[in-house]
Amino acid sequence: MPSESFSNLPTESLALLAQVRQRMTQREIGEHLQVDPKTVGRWERRETDCPKYVQAALREMLPMRGRSEAPSSFTFIDLFAGIGGIRRGFESAGGRCIFTSEWNEWSKKTYRLNFPSDEHEIDGDITQVDAADIPDHDVLLAGFPCQPFSIAGVSKKNALGRPHGFECTTQGTLFFDVARIIAEKKPKAFLLENVKNLVSHDGGNTFRVIKETLARELGYHVQAKVIDGQSFTPQHRERILIVGFREATGFSFDDFQKPAKGPLLGSILHPEDGSEEAEAPFTTGPLAKVHSKYVLTEKLWEYLKGYAAKHKAAGNGFGFGLVTPEMTTRTLSARYYKDGSEILVSRGGKKRPRRLTPRECARLMGFDSPTGNKFIIPVSDTQAYKQFGNSVVVPVIAEVARLMAPHIRILQRYEQTGILELPLFADAS
């Protein structure tokens, strides 16, 4: 089928098929649908239409909505959820999501298809959600956007004897919505994620207000750490993680474990040698070669080279990031769809470089691996680049969740027994 016909395929059937394929082989699906396994393969490669009439049968092969496949040890809510990167990390530590908030419709589409067993719907604008309507939970998760805000008026309010708690100092920012939910629901713990620059924004005032709000106003024991994801995936990506516990349990980022040596870019690239199945529209043909649409046009490549040369002559560091399989990339950003300049994959010799495919971006962010289950990508390349560029390095979050899990259980037992059973290393002060 010609590539220009892809947009006319029954995308819901394909999305359902992708979910089922995470659990079943082509042969098993074929036996269930009473079709040849090769037919299932042709549907996946988009060589023939995946008929709409198979949707009901595919749904039957998925876990029942709301039925957990494994018992959970704690519950959490997922705010500013994006496509669920933070959620995936906490599910790996035994958590179960019971509330989700995300406003972007394209992200909601991706999220729904990758978490089909949810019995709750996705709430939209969190600013319009009453905190009292959110279910009780053990852990609050939020990759909140940090809009600039000023605290210039705090001193004046002090002088006038006016209150200036978190409602004053953070009102008008999305952090306020995180704070008001914590104040209302009092979860045992929280994890907040943001860009590294949050620490230095406004001369450090923004971060100071956030910490004071969480610790002094809301009464949590707070720690923060900037972590680079390149120990887990081949990408230099620094993010600040802020963890808080309602009681002092001895949690420490000092216990964070990372691999001694991070992977290289080659580990997430399409091998293009036939060792993986072709996945339209990212790869094509018997060798699963990367589609030619990801190769930079001659005009764009000449522009980027000229732009880099101009800034180099001016003594600036601006330019494109050309990488080979033996390297680590720059940070994948949400603007990657524009020209891909921060991560251009060399094709050797005088060949024009190419962008990463969305599937490679999923691997670069730790959503899936060349040999593991594939994260479903049901949106256009433009939307996929934005979604992965705005997300988190999942293995980093998984490691933090692993650290937090025993401390969450300490507070669960404390809630049940009234006795705070701290480990020997805990600081109970």
> Would you please indicate which residues are annotated as catalytic (active-site) residues?
146
HEC string for 51-120:
CHHHHHHHHHCCCCCCCCCCCCCEEEEEECCCCCHHHHHHHCCCEEEEEEECCCHHHHHHHHHHCCCCCC
Q: Vertex 117, ends 113 and 118: CA angle to 5°?
A: 90
Element containing residue 389 per DSSP (H, E) = helix 381-389
Scanning 153-278, the segments in alpha helix (DSSP H) are 154-160, 166-169, 174-185, 205-212
In 3D space, the residue among 421, 407, 335, 368 whose CA is nearest the CA of residue 22 turns out to be: 368
Q: How is residue 329 annotated by DSSP?
A: B
CA pair distance 58, 269, nearest whole angstrom: 30
CA pair distance 362, 357, nearest whole angstrom: 9
The two structure tokens encoding residue 367 = 């959503």
CA pair distance 368, 20, nearest whole angstrom: 16
Neighbours of 378 (CB within 10 A): 17
Which of 109-132 are b and which e, b meaning 16 or more Cβ less than 10 Å from the residue's Cβ? bbbbbbbbebeeebbeebeebeee
| Three-state SS at 310 | helix
Contacting residues for 288 by C-beta, under 8 A, at least 6 apart: 270, 271, 272, 273, 274, 275, 276, 277, 278, 279
